[in-house]
Amino acid sequence: MALIQNCKRTARILRVAARYRLDALIDKQRLPWGFRVLLAPLALLPNHKAARGERIRLALQDLGPVFIKLGQMLSTRPDLLADDIAASLNQLQDQVEPFASDQAVAIVERAFGRPVTDLFTRFDSVPLASASIAQVHSAELRLTGQDQPLDVVVKIVRPGIERLIEQDTDLMFSLARMIKRYAPDGERLKPVEVVSDYRDVIYDELNMQLEAANTSQLRRNFLDSDLLYVPEVYWDYVRSNVLVMERIYGVPICNIDELHAAKVNMKELAERGVEIFFSQVFRDSFFHADMHPGNIFVNVSNPDKPQYIGIDCAIIGSLDDDDLYYLARNLLAIFQRDYRTVAEMHVESGWVPEHVRAGDFESAIRSVCEPIFEKPLAEISFGQILLYLFTVARRFEMSVQPNLVLLEKTLLAVEGLGRQLYPQLDLWQTAQPFLEDWMAKRYAPAQVLQRMQKQAPTLLQHLPQLPELLIDNLKSSAALRESAQQQQRQLQLIEEQGRRRERRQKLAAGMLLVAGALLLFGPQMPVFADVDLRTSAAIVGGLGVAWLLLG
């Protein structure tokens, strides 16, 4: 049965690929002859008029939720895709045909083992929204101790989506291996790794308990702030495939006219968005990495201090302390045009290999950044600079970490949204004080002491073992030195053997040349008139060969 389903799914994918003539986007000369014969009939079909990015986007839409989600994830990887394809995939909308309300009710009842009427005083059968992985229904939840029922939303994972994901990702892996082997730039695009990352991301998004935990953490990070509001999760009503949380009310961030009508201070709104982003990244190292307009709303009750509302925390990014430090130093150095520091930080952090010459990398960075700085500071794109930097670094064998790319994509989204809200937004003027303050606080004596105090229990725990560790370390160091010396002696012996072998080869070659000369020129020379040249040549040549083989 599974084989039949896979065959049907494969046939559908091939039909969609043929409809949009995706075969025209690959270099058929790189394919094995069998594939070329298989694709040859497609040349009889009319070519699709749309641009290649549009054709890929339409094909992914036709293939359904799993492929739509793949397209959305690929749109976050401009380091891998051509600009036109990435831009087209950015247009993918997460509006998918909803599944039946009776299925939604059945899933909720199975998850909690109770009738939906016992759980909620009201459960709306028509979903508020329907996306690739789940759909959302509004409801009213009565909690013990509450006089009035609470407005909530119930997020329900699509039925059968796990099986569909498994089928489709298996097919994606097969396609990815073909792309890696036969497509131009197949190695650089890392298609197998991309599909592997996608599978991990989409399986995480299926886990409503993980999303609930992310939501609770983000809410806790901003609980005492008026910058960002994150809805409350009702943990007694969370299962792996169902999530019940507070329903929020606000103006969608993309409804600019409605924000203006509410007399929202757009400059303040844009700058607060930037502050939220940098707070999530540098203060908390826990940032919402799916900041598309559908996940952001605005509380306009105080137009002079508008508050953001964030939902859908399935995709979260984080950076370790070292990456945060190097990122902050890089951003500050870039805007100070200190390209030498940028190059050295990339090498020091391990983002580019040690054998890369910092001077060469510095020149490449300067050639990219200097034209940008010819613009007014307010027009300079933070995210675009990071994108250019990653592009340059790739030439120097930089392996871009997924979280860094996730960060860069999120920054591009935040920056684009900020300038849509307030075109005069000067991102650098907003961000620079935050970065400088973070750097100053991070490495102030009080902060360093506080981090040392936090690590003190661990240090004290290992303190009794310190003498033993020191002795082991000294022994290890001595063993390493002895091993290095032994390797050095072996290397010298190998080099000496190589030199002796080279001398033998030269001597043997000389003897063979002498033997050849005796045979060729000896008969013409009177001095060899009474010599048996063939025997002499054989003896000389034999000695040369023996010297070569036995030495």
Centre a 10 Å sphere on the Cβ of residue 70 and count the other Cβ atoms it contains.
24
In this prediction, residue 64 carries a pLDDT of 77
In this prediction, residue 307 carries a pLDDT of 96
In this prediction, residue 235 carries a pLDDT of 96
Q: pLDDT (tens digit, 9 = 90+) per residue, 448-494?
A: 555 555 555 665 565 565 566 566 666 665 665 666 666 666 666 66
Sheet containing strand 251-252, edge to edge, reads 228-229, 307-310, 296-299, 251-252
> Is the distance from CB of 42 to CB of 21 less than 8 angstroms?
yes
Q: What is the DSSP letter of 235?
A: E
The backbone region for 25, taken as left when phi is positive above 0, alpha when psi lies in -120 to 50, beta otherwise, is: alpha
Q: pLDDT (tens digit, 9 = 90+) per residue, 5-40?
A: 666 767 777 788 788 887 777 766 666 666 666 667
Mean pLDDT of the chain: 78
Token pair of 224, please? Answer: 């005492």
Q: Where are the domains of the chain?
A: 1-94, 95-247, 253-443, 468-550
C-alpha 283/C-alpha 447 separation (Å) is 13
C-alpha 375/C-alpha 540 separation (Å) is 80
pLDDT mean values, one per 10 residues, the chain (551 residues): 63 78 72 67 74 86 79 66 76 75 95 94 92 91 84 94 84 80 67 79 88 96 94 96 96 92 94 91 89 87 95 87 81 83 79 78 83 69 70 68 70 80 80 80 61 56 60 60 65 67 61 56 54 58 56 54
Please list the alpha-helical segments (H only) found in 222-336. 256-261, 266-278, 321-335
151 is a catalytic site residue: no
In this prediction, residue 110 carries a pLDDT of 96
The DSSP result for 88-151, as a single string, is HHTT-----PPPPHHHHHHHHHHHHTS-HHHHEEEE-SS-SEE-SSEEEEEEEEPPTT-SSPEE
Among the listed residues 23, 79, 168, 290, the single catalytic one is 290
**CA angle at 89 for the pair 87 and 92, rounded to the nearest 5°:** 125
